[in-house]
Amino acid sequence: MRWGTILIPTLREIPKEAEAKSHQLLLKAGYIRKLSSGVYSYLPLGFRVLQNICRIIREEMNSAGAVELLLPALQPAEIWKQTGRYDALGEDKISFKNRTGTEYVLGPTHEEVITELAGAYLQTQHALPKTLYQIQTKFRDELRPRFGIIRTKEFIMKDAYSFDADEEGLKKSYQNMYHAYQKILTRLGLSFDIVTADPGIMGGKVSHEFMVRSEYGEDHLAVCETCKMVTSRDIAARKLSKQTTPPTSSKIEIFDTPNLKTIHDISTHFHIAPRKLMKTIIYMMNDRDPVAACVRGDHEVHEGKLRNLLGAKQLCLANAKEIEKVTGAPLGFASPVGLRDVKIIIDADLLLDQDFVTGANQKDKHMKHVNVGRDFNYSQSGDIRFVQEGDLCAQCGNKLLLITAMEVGHVFQLGTRYTECLNVKYKDSSGAEKLVIMGCYGLGVNRIMAAIVEQHNDSKGMKWPVAVAPFQVELLTVNHSHDGTREAADQLYSKLIEAGIDCLYDDREERAGVKFNDADLVGAPFHVVVGERNLVKGVIEIKKRASQESLVVPISEVLGKVQELLRD
């Protein structure tokens, strides 16, 4: 394709809004254009990359025995209510009522829809197992879209769903998809970590994330460089100290804190280190029993760990009315001191210090010199917070590092989470009805595109792997107005196209410096440069974009050399 034919609106300056390297380069090289917050157009180069990513995904999914279909983005809200996820999605969901008053959800994911479909057609043991997948645009009303196409309101996903007769079948389907994802991400040129993960609102008991390390990711890996343990911060455990600190003799004092509710408010106003504050978060367990979770002010409660410690089926944050009923005070002034008929769970770190500042269970008041065990009793202590840099590895006891990463894939063993809600059953060989067992497997297509750029770039621009590059080769002339140069380039372009090589021909009458800069920015793996001086010598230059290495090749050997480089 000729540069003059395709739309490549390169920019000389990086837009100020762009923080992530991928966002900067994709905008600057004319791959994407922002329409509104979290909503992007994919211009011809960007769309070609997406197509190449999808091609590789399809090849590996089909090879693994999965079958592609396409599900509706417009989903009746009723099926989301049946699974209980309508409320769980909260304000992230985009929903509306049509002219007849029927409410719809713009699909952020498709578990409900695919489960309904399975209920209609997978009704006998002979119909199982099945793995179905799609590549489709999804919608989520992100509060803070960031980093270009890494976190958006409209995004492209490959989601697959397996259906099996039993747990053994699910494990086989899960491993099959797990290995397919390894092949996909490897072919896409990504370095990645696979970590055990928290299933979250998706449900199920077993889950793994495929993570790409990047400073612009929104997740963290907990890494121990000593024993090489790598896990998601969302589930990472830490080694707990066996030490305890006895209480002091200081008496509790209540002091005024008008309109000062948060840890930051108290810490800043009274110059108290956050680690000396005690944070009390009120939860409702199984919709009826109040729980007070206490952590240091510089820590965050990990709801998954808390739920597991309690053995609770359900655990959700208490609302403002429930908090006031439990503590006698509005939100922001809770304390474990004096609570009645409330299960109090403390993080183990609170046993290592004394004289904490915490709420007073009174409006606009806090208390100081609060000591664990002396001023309140607790039901259990343990690891109920997210790990932080410097915490001790649960396996070897050495310090953990936190590394920023982005999730590009996630796989789940859902079990009967959805088939039970939607009553999806099959008949076994004896005629007995049993629930279908499900797995779910997602890949973020546009996020993968950003991840590739994050890992393959330099100060000049992008360095696309051959497998996903919008063009394998860029052909450019040093002086396009020179007849001999133009004629030689035209002939070479025809040969490359006839040989099936995807080639971008920069046929603009621009200065050589502009063309070279744009070629490095756009990032095709190989640049073939036709110039008058080299033509006199009977040679043409081929440059490898990744290494900047240049080869000088006789004109008659250029096609063969390009083919060799592409094979390598």
Domains of the chain, first to last: 21-190+414-453 (3.30.930.10), 253-382 (3.90.960.10), 471-567 (3.40.50.800)
Q: Which two tokens stand for residue 529?
A: 């440069």
* Cα 135 to Cα 157: distance, rounded to the nearest angstrom: 6
Tell me which DSSP letter residue 436 carries. Answer: P
Specify the residue for token string 């597991």: 308
Is there a contact between 238 and 394 (Cβ–Cβ < 8 Å)? yes
Amino acid at 116: E
Residues 6+ apart with CB under 8 A from 419: 115, 118, 119, 425, 435, 436, 437, 438
The per-residue pLDDT string of the chain (568 residues; one tens digit each, 9 = 90 and over) reads 999 999 999 998 888 889 999 999 999 999 999 999 999 999 999 999 999 999 999 999 999 999 999 999 999 999 999 998 998 888 899 999 999 999 999 999 999 999 999 999 999 999 999 999 999 999 999 988 999 999 999 999 999 999 999 999 999 999 999 999 999 999 999 999 999 887 666 666 789 999 999 999 889 999 999 999 999 998 899 999 988 999 999 999 999 999 999 999 999 999 999 999 999 999 999 888 999 999 999 999 999 899 989 998 889 999 999 999 999 999 999 999 999 999 999 999 999 999 999 999 999 999 999 999 999 999 999 999 999 999 999 999 999 999 999 999 999 999 999 999 999 999 999 999 999 999 999 999 999 999 999 999 999 999 999 999 999 999 999 999 999 999 999 999 999 999 999 999 999 999 999 999 999 999 999 999 999 999 999 999 999 999 999 999 999 999 999 999 999 8
Per-residue pLDDT, 202: 62
Tell me which DSSP letter residue 237 carries. Answer: -
- The CA–CA distances, whole Å, from 419 to 120, 330, 523 equal 12, 41, 46
Q: Which two tokens stand for residue 431?
A: 């005629």
Cis, bond preceding 129 (omega within 30 deg of 0): yes
Which pTM was predicted?
0.89
- The CA–CA distances, whole Å, from 91 to 84, 85, 87, 186 equal 15, 12, 9, 35
Q: What angle do CA 30, 35, 38 make, to 5 degrees?
A: 100
Per-residue pLDDT, 17: 84
* Cα 83 to Cα 92: distance, rounded to the nearest angstrom: 17
Amino acid at 560: G
Per-residue pLDDT, 74: 97
